[in-house]
Amino acid sequence: MHVVIVSKALVVGTYQRKVEAIAAHEDIQVTLLVPPYWRDSRGTHALEPLHTRGYTLKVIPIRFPGAFHWHYYPTLGRELAALRPDVLHMDEEPYNLATWLAIRYAVRLNIPSLFFTWQNLYRRYPPPFCLFERYVYRHVQFAIAGNQEALVVLRHKGYRGPVRVVPQFGVDPERFRPRPDRGGVPRPFTIGYVGGLVPEKGVDLLLRAVARLSGDWELHLVGSGPAEGTLRRLAHQLGIAQRVRWTPRQHSARMAEIYPTFDVLVLPSRAQRNWKEQFGRVLIEAMACEVPVIGSTCGEIPNVIGDAGLIFPEGDMDTLTAHLRHLQTHPGLRQELGRRGRARVLAHFTHERIAEETVAIYREMLCHAQTS
C-alpha cells in the first residue's frame, strides 16, 4: 500500500520518527510531502530532515505559509496525479483551503483520503471555510481526531464517517529517556516550562506561583514568544529575576538533553475564548525522561497525564503552589511519578504505538475501498 502524507507539522525533525515507524510496516510505502518551512507566532520553522529512513521525503512549495486557514500547496494536484497513492493522509484541519483542495484532487483521482483534526472547541466558520469543511466531511473516507473533545466536535458539526482518536505524534523513548544522576552535585530544585511565551500558556501564573516558594529553587523557561518582555518585567516585579533562566526556543532534537535537567515540568495552560490545550506534547516528552509533570485542567492535559502526574484547576495559583512545594520536599514522590510517566508513554504515546494505530486505519480504508 502506498500512502502519501501531506503535513506542515512534519517540518519538525523529531515528529518525522512517526513516519519512519509507519514505513517500517512491510506492507506500507510512504511518500511524505512537506513545505520548506512554516511560520507561527513563535517564528519561522525551517524543515529539519532528521528522521528520513525507509520512506521518501519530498519538499513541495507552499503559498501563504503562516496563514493557517489560507495556506495551500500549488503543485499538490500534479504530485498526486504522478504518485497515484492508495491513501492520501491530509495532516490538516478539514476547514482549511489546503485540505479542501487536496480532497478535491483525491476525489478526481479516486484516492481514498482522510484528514486530521485537533479542533476541540465548537466553532461555526463563515464562508468559504464552512463550505470547505462540509465538502471534506462528505468526501473523505476517515477522520483522525487528536483528542477526545475533537471527536465530540466533529460529530456535533455533522461529520458522520468513521473516526478514531489518535494523537498526531508520539515520542521516541530512546531519544527522550532518563539520564544518569549528576553524581550528587548540589543544585536547586529546578522547575521547567517548555512552550510558547504567550498569554494562554499561563506562564505568568507559574511565575507568581514559584515566587511563593522557599528554599533553593530555579525556574527554567524554554521558549519564545510575544509575551517575553511582559514576563521578564513580571519576574523583576516579583523579585525573582535572578532565579529565572531564559532559553529561547530550541531545535527539537536538543530538547531531549534539556528535560532531564528539570525536577518537574509544569504546563499551566488556561483556556481562552478561541483556544484550549489540544494535547500538550511537552508533557509526554518530559514523562518519557522520567520527569514528573504538573498540568492544569485545560483541554486534553488531564487525559494525557492520567495518574502519572499532578493536576490543578486552571488559573488556581494556590493549588499549583501547593503541588510545587510538595514535589520540592518529597523526592521519593518525584521518582515515583517519573516512573509512572515513562510507563504511560511506553504504553500509549510512542511513535511506534501511534504508527500502529494509524496503519490500522490505512488498512481499514483500503479494505473498504476494495470491497465497495
One pLDDT digit (tens) per residue for the chain, 372 residues: 999 999 999 998 889 999 999 999 999 999 999 999 999 866 788 999 999 999 999 999 999 999 999 999 999 999 999 999 999 999 999 999 999 999 999 999 999 999 999 999 999 999 999 999 999 999 999 999 999 999 999 999 999 999 999 999 999 999 999 987 655 667 899 999 999 999 999 999 999 999 999 999 999 999 999 999 999 999 999 999 999 999 998 877 789 999 999 999 999 999 998 899 999 999 999 999 999 999 999 999 999 999 999 999 999 999 999 999 999 999 999 999 999 999 999 999 999 999 999 999 999 999 888 876
**2-170+350-371: what CATH class?**
alpha beta
pLDDT for 40 equals 82
Give yes or no on whether 2-170+350-371 and 189-348 have one common fold. Answer: yes
- 280-286: long-range contacts (C-beta < 8 A, 24 or more apart)? 280/304, 281/169, 281/171, 282/194, 282/195, 283/309, 284/170, 284/171, 284/345, 284/349, 285/171, 285/176, 285/194, 285/255, 285/256, 285/259, 286/192, 286/194, 286/259, 286/262, 286/341
Residues in a beta bridge with 43 = 40
Distance CA 21, CA 132 (A): 31
* Domains of the chain by residue range: 2-170+350-371, 189-348
Residue 137: strand, helix, or coil: helix
Closest by CA position to 171, among listed 9, 360, 352, 341 = 352
pTM of the predicted structure, to 2 decimals: 0.86
Cell of 29: 510505502
Q: State CA 226 to chain mean position distance.
A: 20
pLDDT for 250 equals 87
Cell of 91: 495532516
pLDDT for 179 equals 85
pLDDT for 251 equals 78
For the domain made up of 189-348, give the CATH fold: Rossmann fold (3.40.50)
